Structure 1
């Protein structure tokens, strides 16, 4: 029998290994913590056979384990199977796609919506496709925009300006440097997840009107958790002038996928030309049916209650952190960024919380945040109890004091 010999890395990849080695030496190599969520015990997961609490999930409302949502996906799977087996234009468009896109458009008061396989894909494909179609368009992008927005703009090759985060004066100065008839697009987010702050959406829309610009707003972290029916910050403040709204299902909605809502002609063009929309297998019908059920819950009385409980828990977490002298960003949203400066330090404390206390909170470091701004992005779902919050803060305080 011929012995198995370890494959030698092709010479072309030697530099890649060097880069990985430098990441590890600098403490920037990403460690993935396997955790399998437990539907019967929300907020908990199995990690290496041990039950742990997860305090950094984006499943903000616990909808991925909501009984009605789970049952909708199970029933749909039994009826329709586990996959669609095709792209949207080749046997992959289900009736659930059609219904969901209609409901999303209505939810945001837009003419059309398109469902993508993820929020990342939704941003990259919509922005790159539309900007390439109108190459003279100048893009004005917030300095703290998500990577998917950055990549969508970059892939287009269009002229761009990066304006200081939420800085209206800087944005206006950039807008004013171009003729009124030059096509312009302002790209920004409603809630920025690393600091939990909110964009001045109405004021940006004012500037867009003044300088003849369109707007593209990523509502990823606000969908489900802001607004009377969970449609986001725009719904909460009564702002209807945004041109495009992007959202996701993989966070507060509790399923998977993303979407963009906006003008009919523009999104029909994306539907007809975006490679990442056309040439990929679609989301299974069962997941879409779960999404539809989740939206029904979020848009009703239970959704209102869940949003209120989420806010109350986030406020309680902030009070407990303040009482314990733990540094955090006091954000006006459901996100609680806890500051733990130092790349190695934040990783060290994260590991101790996991191994000694069964608490999982992912360290956030460069390049997701600036060096020196390392943190935990803590989320406090509606089902968290005051006792669990107190235990989390006590464990964190102990780890910080000992480090």
Structure 2
């Protein structure tokens, strides 16, 4: 085959991707990224060209990524240890900070062991796909609104699975009852669901797990730092620590990077020894782990910070309610503002940014069902009443224009 013939055939293959991208754009599902440069000295803001823009959709729920003590911990550790580990966890990549953080996390969640991964997504995917594949004849029960990382981990394992209606205990029990008591079972669910902001009936699910002899895997991603006396999540808030496995992240309320799973020692040792996404990837820098340790200490003592967070969330809801803006009044710190219509939610986002220097990312399909488009608004504890009122007023005006 001549070089020119090969080039033509290669171009034909690559053209498929151009067509797919055009289809995304035509359907208005193409995702535009808004470059941000978060400002450590002006929390909750970013620079965009010559403008300062308020960010109202960050997962940095407590503003810890700009906390001066956390920044100082990372800078000091970088100067001492450098910017990277230079290897995977089993090849020079397990720092003293990794070991200490895993010990702290295990104790925080009252588990035997914890294992750190490069992200929350990887923590879910690798742990679930590895442990499920190791259990012969296991059946998995997954909440219908579970995060993609949970879904993909279950699918990769190849195990038999049932999807139960969201937070529906009766539906879950009807599916559990299909199997003998000695059949291995695993229930996978979340504590707080990020798109609706609602909370799972965790204790009732643990009751069903005990009744039907099932293990449980609880994703506490959106509860870590903001629920419980020391921020350990929903289980701590309920004083119910029966989850077999607890997953959490550092990239949200802790304000750094990475994810983890806490649970039985032997199982996580098996995951550590077999999960490809743990074994064959460069470990997180020690400086990031030192910053996480510092942030964890502050968050664990941050009961006042959590109380302030919920006061500001209540104020935001009151401002939205006063302007007849439709939102889901969920029992968490998340405030989903409903703006049905992919084109409309995108337009409102553009108007907010162009005219009010407010950035809030539109959420559309496939993250939510068509017709359920929304903004997932987050209100950090450092927000002022004036900023909250400004946001609500701007939202009202843009909704009227769109």
1:3 corresponds in structure 2 to none
Offset at residue 13 of structure 1 (A): 2.6
Deviations 1:233-279 (A, max 9, x none): 00001111110000000000000000000000100000000000010
Q: How does 1:358-369 map to 2 (within 5 A)?
A: 358-369=357-368
Runs of 4 or more consecutive aligned structure 1 residues displaced over 6 Å after TM superposition = 6-9
CA change 1:85–1:170 in 2 (3 A) is same
Match of 2:3 in 1: none
CA distance in 2, matches of 1:380, 1:291: 22
Q: Distance in 1 between matches of 2:146 and 2:13?
A: 33
1:314 alignment partner in structure 2: 313
The question of 1:27 aligning with 2:28 is answered yes
For the residues of structure 1 that align with 2:83 and 2:8, how far apart are their CA atoms?
36
Q: For residues 15 and 208 of structure 2, what CA distance do their matches in structure 1 show?
A: 49
Please say if 1:199 is aligned against 2:215: no
Q: What is the rounded CA distance, in whole Å, between the counterparts of 2:30 and 2:163 in structure 1?
A: 28
> SS of 2:159's equivalent?
coil
Could you tell me how far apart the structure 1 residues matched to 2:159 and 2:327 are?
38
3-state SS, counterpart of residue 246 of structure 1: strand
Whole-angstrom CA distance in 1 between matches of 2:50 and 2:105: 40
Count of paired positions: 396
SS in 1 for 2:91: helix
SS at match of 2:92: helix
CA–CA separation in structure 2 for the residues paired with 1:233 and 1:171: 20
1:250 aligns with 2:220: no
Q: Could you list the per-position Cα deviations for residues 138-159 of structure 1 after superposition, in whole angstroms to 9, with x for gaps in the alignment?
A: 0000000000000000100000
Q: Distance in 2 between matches of 1:353 and 1:153?
A: 39
Equivalent residue number for residue 88 of structure 1: 89
Correspondences of 1:385-400 after superposition (within 5 Å): 385-400=384-399
1:222 paired with 2:223, answer: yes
Partner of 2:4: none
- Cα distance in 2, alignment partners of residues 8 and 391 from structure 1: 56
**Alignment-derived partner of residue 352 in structure 2:** 353
- Note the C-alpha offset of 1:14: 2.4
Question: Hey, what does 1:37 align to over in structure 2?
Answer: 38
Q: In the alignment, which residue of structure 1 is the partner of 2:53?
A: 52
CA deviations over 1:375-403 (Å, ceiling 9, x no partner): 00000001100000000011110011122
TM-score, normalised to structure 1, is 0.97
- Could you report, residue by residue, the CA deviation over 1:333-366 in whole angstroms, capped at 9, with x for unpaired residues? 1000000000010001101101111000000000
Q: What CA distance in whole angstroms lies between the structure 2 residues aligned with 1:183 and 1:323?
A: 51
User: Which residue does the alignment assign to 1:15?
Assistant: 16
Q: TM-score, normalised by structure 2?
A: 0.97
The whole-number CA distance in structure 2 between the counterparts of 1:14 and 1:205 is 50
Instruction: State the alpha-carbon separation in 2 of the partners of residues 128 and 188 from structure 1.
Output: 15
Alpha-carbon distance in structure 2 between the residues aligned to 1:181 and 1:135: 12
- Corresponding residue for residue 276 of structure 1: 277
CA RMSD in angstroms, aligned pairs only: 1.2
Give a deviation string over 1:108-145, Cα, whole Å, max 9, x none. 00000000000000000000000111141100000000
Distance change in 2, residues 1:19/1:74 (3 Å): same
Q: Does structure 1 residue 234 correspond to structure 2 residue 246?
A: no
SS at match of 1:269: helix
Counterpart Cα distance in 2 of 1:306 and 1:229? 11
> Structure 1's 383 and 9: CA in aligned 2 closer, same or farther, altered over 3 A?
farther
Residue 20 of structure 1 aligns to a residue whose secondary structure is helix
**Does 2:330 correspond to 1:339?**
no
User: What is the rounded CA distance, in whole Å, between the counterparts of 2:343 and 2:241 in structure 1?
Assistant: 44
Q: What secondary structure sits across from 1:51 in the alignment?
A: strand
SS at match of 1:332: coil
| 1:85-113 superposed Cα distances (whole Å, 9 cap, x missing partner) | 00000000000000000000000000000
Partner Cα distance (2:63, 2:316) in 1: 17
- After TM superposition, give the deviation of residue 315 of structure 1 in Å: 0.5
Structure 2 CA distance for aligned equivalents of residues 83 and 8 of structure 1: 41
Query: Hey, what does 1:125 align to over in structure 2?
Result: 126
- In the TM superposition, what are the counterparts of 1:145-160 in structure 2 within 5 Å? 145-160=146-161
